[in-house]
Amino acid sequence: MRVEQTPLKDCYIIHDTVFADDRGYFFESFNQQKFQNLTGLNVSFIQDNQSKSSKGVLRGMHYQLGKHTQAKLVRVLEGSVLDVVVDLRVDSPSFGQSFSIELTGENRKQFFVPRGFAHGFVVTSETAVFFYKCDNFYNKESEGGFIYNDKTINIDWQMDNENLILSDKDKVLPSFEEIKNILIF
């Protein structure tokens, strides 16, 4: 396992060591002890989630507030996505900054998203199977989000708006300016 720091504090790209031969491949997708030694973060995952989506599906930008905030370890099992995070921690040196990475079933990169971040992704292949671990349980009353095309954050989704497919809920999320004063992590 190799861990690469992103420009956003506590946000990491994880490169796994893959052992491949003519039979296929094997890799250890997560090891808590190695992760803690490499990052200094002690994270215990308690919930796994998986979704399958079609090309152009955009899920985001979502977060959990208060005691229900979640750290996530995300990856793509099949297909490809552009994965995006925004630091919502008001006291962070990277507050309000975004970072994006291509995650694919082939590159096998994983992306650690710490607590206090908004998260979203758009599917760039015909379909994608997206998998992630959470260190806290989902709580509907604590969920929040901001609109994917917010002018303040200005995320480049690398896809034309007319090709994006959003849930009805994600289409009407507030702007970043409207939510930035209620952020409690």
Catalytic option among 12, 62, 138, 148 = 62
Which one, of 65, 89, 45, lies nearest residue 141 by Cα?
A: 65
Catalytic option among 12, 63, 132, 148 = 132
Q: Are 35 and 67 in contact (CB under 8 A)?
A: no
Give whole-number Cα distances, 176 to 64, 78, 137, 180, in Å.
15, 31, 24, 6
Residue 62 annotated among the catalytic residues of the structure: yes
Q: Are 143 and 66 in contact (CB under 8 A)?
A: no
Phi then psi dihedrals of residue 127, to 5 deg? -145, 165
Strands 117-123 and 19-21: unpaired
Q: Are 9 and 92 in contact (CB under 8 A)?
A: yes
Six-digit token pair at 107?
A: 């590159």
Q: For residue 92, with 0-12 CB atoms within 10 Å meaning exposed, 13-18 middle and 19 or more buried, which class applies? A: middle
Residue 112 CA to residue 3 CA, distance in Å, equals 10
Residue 119 annotated among the catalytic residues of the structure: no
Which residues participate in catalysis according to the annotation?
62, 132
